[in-house]
Amino acid sequence: GYAVLPTIGKGGVGVGGARGKGQVYQGGGVTGFVTMTQLSIGLQLGGQAYSQIIFLEDKRAYDDFTSGNFEFSADASAVAITASAQASSGTTGSGASAGPGGTAGVQAVTDYYKGMKIFTIAKGGLMYEAAIAGQKYKFTPLQ
């Protein structure tokens, strides 16, 4: 399965936060909705908007993610895909990067972390950040 959050808004001055909503898919169909909330603390200033896609490696990862409230600790990593800028991310030691180009960068080899792989695509804004953050995902199944 996978989750798509089309727009996440993020901002911060010392203490920051982000929030966005999206849908969760399995077997080609929508199975529910997801809300992401992030809190961060550290050196940060500005605001930005981005999209996020989360790939779930197997049934265990899907079940964990859709159990209701799922949290990523500060050691999770995301891959940044940017249009015409170098970006890199990775706090688990494996790291990842996207290269320069006129279109979205080409993904480097990355590993799943606890059964999940996260891709973040910048939409706009300007933010300086050297902070520690945790993300919480709340899943609501279709009625």
Please check the confidence at residue 8 and state whether its pLDDT lies above 90. Answer: yes
Query: 83-112 burial string, b = 16+ CB within 10 Å, else e?
Result: eeeebebbeeeeebbbeeeeeebeeeebee
| Cα angle, residue 65 at apex, residues 122 and 71 outer, rounded to 5° | 70
Residue with structure tokens 């290269």? 99
Question: What is the structure's pLDDT at 115?
Answer: 87
Residue 64 token pair: 């964990």
Give the predicted TM-score (pTM) of the model.
0.74
For 13-22, 76-85, 92-101, 122-131, which range has the lowest pLDDT when averaged over its residues? 92-101
- Which is more confident, 65 or 81? 65
Q: What is the mean pLDDT of residues 107-113?
A: 65
Which residues, in sequence order, are CB contacts of 29 under 8 Å at separation 6+? Answer: none
Model confidence at 68, pLDDT cuts 50, 70, 90, reads confident
The C-alpha atoms of residue 127 and residue 67 are separated, in whole angstroms, by 32
Summarize the confidence of residues 42-48 as an average pLDDT.
Answer: 90
Instruction: Write down the pLDDT at residue 126.
Output: 85
The pair of three-digit structure tokens given for residue 108, joined into one six-digit string: 């480097």
Q: Which class for 78: exposed (0-12), middle (13-18), buried (19 or more C-beta within 10 A)?
A: buried
Q: What is the mean pLDDT of the chain?
A: 78
